[in-house]
Amino acid sequence: MKGKCLCGEVRFSIDDQYSHIYQCHCSLCRQVSGSSSNSSLIVAQEHFHWLCGVSLISSFVKSTGYRSDFCSRCGCPAPNSMKNGNDIWVPVGLLYEHKPLKVVAHLCTESKAQWDTISEHGAQFKSMPELRDLYHVLDDK
């Protein structure tokens, strides 16, 4: 699978075994995405490959630890390393070449925007689940 930012300077590829994605509806993800939620894929480091543009990526971290990486040229969200050090968080909207993907989880449904309608497909978590619970749902092996 291949992904790129809006201006195309930041590019990456992901090995093909992933198909399960999640959407987080919390207020922070709404701000970062500018929409009802973000759509995300979690990929093991060894299956994620930067192709170019890493030096253009800027990072903003809130005092709570919430992190947003983005292309400093076009402002597009960028993949970033997760705190566990093993995985990369990937904004799915950047993928332009991929196999069929499926939303299997909705996070923070209790803090969704009033105008957001969450589809009945996939597990729903009222708040942020434990990472291991999320990984369990995302596991598609």
Closer of 24 and 95 to Zn ion (Cβ): 24
Closest listed residue to residue 56, CA positions, set 4, 9, 3, 12: 9
Is residue 9 close enough to count as binding Zn ion by CB under 5 A? yes
42 is an interface residue for Zn ion by CB under 5 A:
no
Q: Which positions ≥6 away from 27 have C-beta within 8 Å? A: 111
105 three-state secondary structure: strand
The reply to whether 134 sits near Zn ion by the rule CB under 5 A is no
Near Zn ion by CB under 5 A, which window of 9-17, 40-48, 57-65, 85-93?
Answer: 9-17
Does residue 29 touch Zn ion according to CB under 5 A?
yes
Segment 83 to 112, residues that bind Zn ion, using CB under 5 A: none
Instruction: Please tell me whether residue 71 binds Zn ion under the rule CB under 5 A.
Output: yes
Q: Distance of CA 43 to CAs 21, 27, 109, 111, 117, Å?
A: 10, 24, 23, 26, 27
What residue ranges bind Zn ion (CB under 5 A)?
5, 7, 9, 24, 26, 29, 71, 73-74, 76
